[in-house]
Structure 1
């Protein structure tokens, strides 16, 4: 296996999505919580974490410079505590029409300063301007990664929406806990459907705290390896993440559309109520 050129070894897990910076959003409330989350990650086998605090235009704006400063502060504490986890800057950007311009101006922190940017949709709907925003992001030289699409109600109900996004150049990151049913059966089913149809490029923790949404990937990774094969697990949890850190192209399979299931309810009902 090819060794990563700049950041670490390929077989060490990387978490591309976390809210681990202290006191900056709805994630770690203080430095103590951040350090405890890092220790949990270290015990779980995670060696690289990208800090992705929320960036919501007009509400919770964490500009690139602030994220970089917070990361440096956390790194100092990591060294002091001798925690064997590397931290990288990033952000999770809420879908708004202004994203392409904000990226171009350097106000949004991309993933480790690469061309990759993590973008979040609303949970209940897809804005009518989403496809246009993704197009303009790419036009400006950036690579959009859609965060936890399995948690979006429209995509969960119609996975081919994500298929169309991917065909236009959007990548997708699912929350590893979705595969375990943490967010409920509907989200779990959506996550596995997307994965089985080649619509997932990364799995991450989206960690927010020490309990519940903690930075753990080992169990979901084992489950993916068991059901989808070790090669798929490596791509989702390690190799593609390292490609992002090094601003390299990722390796991924061509997605396939989800065939709509035929409904048998009407024929069955007609038979039940048919006069004899």
Structure 2
């Protein structure tokens, strides 16, 4: 169970899991210079591994993309502490973990305010011995069984009412036990179930698979992988809807 606590700071605040940390995390937990190793996987600008009192974690500094990055690489408009990207992602991960979903454990979020703007960082628990779906496809290890497990994982996410802002082949992890994890919930949010946004999530994932060359690797990729994923997804979503209806 996550025990979320907020520790005010002169220039902002830290939101952290007191059950994992005990006391509020030190600044070193959020400093790339103190990172255990660079780890260019997922997120803008990559992430880094850090050693924390709660174990090894993944540190991500929030960075802008697109045209907005030309004006400010990592500053966001201040609209209140609970509306910062780091706090919102921490809270969303808490909710999803409580619902039993395989998502990273939120360990600590830091917000540093600078007048009407802020910078932010997030540390989540490391998913050990995991590879991305993109890496798995590149290695030729993606099969129908994996596709079905990924479809089921996405169905559970959507069944919980969660929209993923960037569902792609780099944000799906498979660990050594075969468990499918979904990561990087920046800008994700809870929404009322609706076919429109659910299909948009799936379409984004499919575009990312095309982008990494899944079809070029195998002409039968859709039939061998994508169609089993969709079949498992729709079966899982229907099962979740039936369960909700029986309550």
TM over 0.5: no
Highest CA radius of gyration, 1 or 2? 1
Higher normalized strand content (fraction of residues) = 2
User: TM-score normalised by the shorter chain: which range applies?
Assistant: under 0.3
TM-score for the superposition, normalised by structure 2: 0.27
